[in-house]
Amino acid sequence: MLGQRAIKLIATVLAFGMIAGIGAPYLLQAGFALWTVLLLVLVVLAVPVVAVLYSERSRR
């Protein structure tokens, strides 16, 4: 199981990711590079996947 600190960190990253996902078109219009926005989205998508994989592995 994940600790409280890890759960809070994952929730924070997901909240930031939702904001970035909604704001992605605006970030692009503001002059951010496309690769920067894509990297941000990939990191945000990877966090819950890694957390689930870690949780499944630690349960065994």
User: pLDDT tens across 18-58, in order?
Assistant: 877 788 888 899 999 999 988 888 887 788 778 777 877 77
Q: What per-residue confidence (pLDDT) applies to 29?
A: 94
Q: What is the count of structural domains for the chain? A: 1
- Is the pTM above the cut of 0.85? no
In 3D space, the residue among 23, 5, 14 whose CA is nearest the CA of residue 43 turns out to be 14
Helices (H), the chain: 4-29, 34-59
- Residue-number span of the structural domain to which 22 is assigned: 4-59
Q: What per-residue confidence (pLDDT) applies to 45?
A: 79
Q: What per-residue confidence (pLDDT) applies to 11?
A: 81
